[in-house]
Structure 1
C-alpha cells in the first residue's frame, strides 16, 4: 500500500471534493431545479461570489476535517497509547516531549508498517492532530535522526500549516469557481454548454491553482526544517534528510511519482518543481547549513 504525505493528501482531497461540489451545484442549478419550475440561474448571477465562497471554502474545510481519517485509510496503522518496544517509546516520548515543550495537546501517535521511510502530521488544528511514522523510517534512522523528523512534523502541527494551507486552498477554490461561473454566464441560454464550460474551466484552473498552493507548501517545509533544527540541532536534520534521499534513490522512488508521491523520502525533479510540495534536498540542506552558519534562513 502506497503512503502519502499529509499536504499532498489534503490538496488532492480538496481538489476532488471541490470539483464534486461544483459539479453537483451546476447540475442542480442548470438541470434539476428547472424541472420543478425553479430557475435560480438568473438570481445566482447576482450572488456568484457568495456561492463561490461557500463552495470554495466548504470544499477546503471538509477535506481538512476528514484529513485524519483519510490519512489512516488503507494503511495498516496502530495507535500508540502505551509504548511497548524501544522504538515505540522513542517515537511516543519524543512527540510527548515536543508537545509539552510547545504547550499543545499531545497529538495522536500512530505507526504503520511500510518499508518506505515516511512520516506525516495532519489534523484540523494543533490541539487535534496526529503524527504517524512508518516502520521503514524508525528502522532506517538513528534515534537522533528520528527525533529530528518528528520535530519537523511537530513544526507543521505547531505552526498550523494544515489550517493555513486550507485557507489558501479555499481562496484558490473561490477564484476558480467564480471565474468559471462568469465564463458560463455567457451561455445562460444553452445550459449544456454552460455546464461543460464551467466544469472544464474548474478542472483546468484547479490544476493551475496548485502552483501557489505548492509554492506555499515548499515555504512551510523550510520553516518546519528550521523548527526541527532549533529543537534538536542542525546536524541530525541534515543527516536524516540525506539518509532518506539515499534510501529513496535505492528504492527508485525519486523519479516514480506514482509509487509514493509525497513520502518524506521523495525529492522532486526540477521539471515538476512548480508542482512539488517539497523543496529539493540540496535546497533544504543549504538552508539548514545557512542557519548553522548564522546566515538568514529562507
Structure 2
C-alpha cells in the first residue's frame, strides 16, 4: 500500500511539472495541453511501461526449454519468495546487469544480460535474481518502471519547451532564459525524484534477496564482480535511455558529469558490508 501511495504521489508530482512546463510554453492553453499529455502518459506508464522498457533493451523472453537452467533458478527462487512465477527475459549485452519490471507481482518480469551470466557463478547469479525478486515482493517494480518512463517524457517535453516555446512577433523566443531553465531543471527534477526513491530500496532489496536465497555472501560477491566488470563494459541501451538506469542492480552509466552526481544507487562498498554483516558467523 505504501508503494502504491508513493507511485500516486510521483504521478501527481510529474503531472504538476508537466503543467508548469506547458504553462511556460503556451500559457493556459499550453498548461491544459500538458495536463492532457500527463494524464495520457500516466495511463500508459501504469499499463505499458514494463513492455516499453523491455523493448528498449531488446529483451527476449525465455522459458524452461530455451533457457532451462536460468528459468528453473528463477522458478525456485520465486517459490521460496512466495511469489507468482514472473516472465523471464534475457538481454544480449556484454555488460553485467539485471532488473525487474511490471506493475505488480502477478504481472512481473525479470531480466538479466548474457554478460552477467558469463561473469557470475551459478551461486552468485542466484543471489542477483533473488535481489530482483525482492524488488517484486516489495512492490518496487511499479514505481521504478513508471519513474523511468515519466523521466524520459519530462526530458522530451523540456526539449520541446526549448525548441518550440513561445515566440514574439519577430519569431524569436519570447523568454529564452525561462526556456533554458526549463530545459535544464526539468530533467534534473526527474533525476532527483528517481534518486530519492532508488537508494533506500536497493538496500532493502539486497536484504530481501539475501533472505530469499539464504546466501548473503553470494550476493555480496556478485555485487563486487558486477562493479568491477561494469566500469569497463558500456551498456549501450542504458546510455541511450539513462532514465532506466535506476532499475538495474548496478548503475550501468559511465558516470560523467551530472550522471555521476545524481547516481541512483548506493555505494557498492556499503551494500557489500551490509550483506556480509548478515552472513552466518559475522561479528
Which is further off, 223-232 or 102-111?
102-111
SS in 2 for 1:110: strand
Matched, 1:156 2:135: yes
Q: Using the alignment, how far apart are the partners of 1:259 and 1:53 within structure 2? A: 27
TM-score (norm 2): 0.66
Using a 3 Å threshold, how does the CA distance of structure 1 residues 169 and 95 change in structure 2: closer, same or farther?
closer
Matched, 1:231 2:212: yes
Alignment partner of 1:289 out of 268, 276, 280: 276
Equivalent residue, structure 2, for 1:67: 49
Using a 3 Å threshold, how does the CA distance of structure 1 residues 221 and 124 change in structure 2: closer, same or farther?
same
* Cα contact 2:97–2:113 (8 A) shared by 1: yes
Alignment partner of 1:111 out of 82, 85, 90: 90
Report 1:9-158 matches (<5 A).
22=19, 26=23, 30=27, 59-84=41-66, 88-158=67-137
Asked which structure has the greater CA Rg, the reply is 1
TM-score (norm 1): 0.63
Q: Using the alignment, how far apart are the partners of 2:225 and 2:188 within structure 1? A: 33
- Gapped regions of structure 1 (runs ≥ 5): 1-13, 31-39, 173-186
Matched, 1:242 2:224: yes
Give the number of aligned pairs: 245
Q: CA RMSD in A?
A: 4.5
- Gapped regions of structure 2 (runs ≥ 5): 1-10, 152-165
Equivalent residue, structure 1, for 2:5: none
* Cα contact 2:81–2:212 (8 A) shared by 1: no
SS in 1 for 2:264: coil
Shift of 1:61: 5.0
Using a 3 Å threshold, how does the CA distance of structure 1 residues 57 and 277 change in structure 2: closer, same or farther?
farther
Shift of 1:216: 2.1
Equivalent residue, structure 1, for 2:262: 275
Shift of 1:146: 0.9
